[in-house]
Amino acid sequence: MRGCSLRLWKVGQNLTEIDWRPKVSVIIPARGSESTIERACRSVLDQDFKDIELIVIVNGETDRTPEIVLSLGDDRIRLAESDAGIVPALNRGLKLASGERIARQDADDIWLPGKLSSQISAFDAGQGDVIGTQMRIVQDGNPDSVTEYPLTHEGILEWFGRVKNPIGHPSVAYRRSAIDKVGGYWDFFPFAEDFDLWMRMMPYVRFSNIDTVGVQYNFTPNPRYSHDVPKFLIRHYAALYIVTGK
């Protein structure tokens, strides 16, 4: 699977035949993920909240990932390809998603039981438009720490002001309407795309986090990542919000 041409499957069914619209679309960008993708997908498919579609976007590298995903044999799975890079993969997933809520998952992370249903309950209770969970950080296969993200919208805004990311991107679920208002992810951010997204969403949404751990997050250092990037984004968009109120 190379280049930017699109191939999309639903196991056992042609996409043009689909008239079912799930409540939640889960998007997993996958690049060279054959050793972890089955476990990641199963952790989503085995959630007690079943009204989902799972969209796996293979981007920029060919391995056995597509074969492994299709071998799971679940008719909620869609498989597609995109240009290389996580942002093009996320935007491709958004374009294909049909759910009224979008959830993110990484190809090497694991959703814990009840993760998605707790977020759906929070949506239904009016607790926010962008809702994350706490995450268990795993390094080199060993549990390292548990996040302590703020729970309320006001607490999350305070973290932004302290130049800290208050929402774990691998844990997040958001209303489709929230990301449509800001036009998706911006392609010119190859990393820190979550900081940019939260900042652009800020005038339109309420944020919250659930106090329970929903994700086992496998931390892999990114040599391209610079802490100057999120600091710049936060300061820029926070200043814009203060000045314009939008």
Predicted TM-score (pTM) of this structure: 0.85
| Cβ proximity of 174 and 204 under 8 Å | no
Query: What pLDDT score does 162 carry?
Result: 82
Q: Per-residue confidence of the chain (246 residues) as pLDDT tens digits? A: 333 333 454 444 444 445 668 999 999 999 889 999 999 999 999 999 999 999 999 987 678 999 999 999 999 999 998 877 888 899 999 999 999 999 999 999 999 999 999 999 999 999 999 999 999 999 776 767 999 999 999 999 999 888 788 999 999 999 999 999 999 988 766 667 888 899 899 999 999 999 999 999 988 765 555 555 555 555 555 555 554 455
| Residue 32 burial class via C-beta count within 10 angstroms: exposed 0-12, middle 13-18, buried 19 and up | middle
- Rounded CA separation 179/205 (Å): 10
The pair of structure tokens assigned to 207 is: 């944020």
The pair of structure tokens assigned to 183 is: 């036009």
Query: What pLDDT score does 230 carry?
Result: 54
Query: What pLDDT score does 222 carry?
Result: 55
Query: What pLDDT score does 54 carry?
Result: 97
